[in-house]
Structure 1
Amino acid sequence: MYTRITRSGGRSYLQLVEGFRTQAGVRQRVVANLGRLDELGGKKLDPLIHGLQRALGRVPISAPVPEYDSARALGDVHALNELWSSL
């Protein structure tokens, strides 16, 4: 299964599609229409994603908040060192 974006009447729609083989070749079947792409946001897609993860027995992964260390400013020290060396 995969998602497919279709366009109709100037709007984009998100579909859940299943691919399968027949004697005539590879075919696709729309399993679900998930709605207009411009109306779908995190508030509507997140519950669907979490529900699929629960159904598969996977623990939802949340990204850790990065921590930043303060950086040392060495550009001015390097410039003054070069200036001192040229004297």
Structure 2
Amino acid sequence: MIPLIVLAVAALTAAAVAVWRVRRLRRLYRLLARETAAYRLTEGCRDQDYAAFHAQIEELLAQKAVLSEADRVLDGALATHHYDPEGGSA
């Protein structure tokens, strides 16, 4: 028969290993929760950055369209008056 002290040591060792594994699992869950939160935060920031970037691009394209139309109108008006950009009025 196994001495009582050996059984007690084996039981304590098994309990210690179980406690260690539970604590390790909890640490892993906390780490996973932090990583998930960080991922969600960075994804949200990335989405906001893309939205702001697209808004700026749309604004610049609208400004370019306005300037192109103004350039076209000005060229038409100058052509009507026979303006020579290098020598003045013709």
> What TM-score comes out, normalization by structure 2 length?
0.27
**Structure number having the greater helix percentage:** 2
Higher relative contact order (CA 8 A, sep 6+): 1
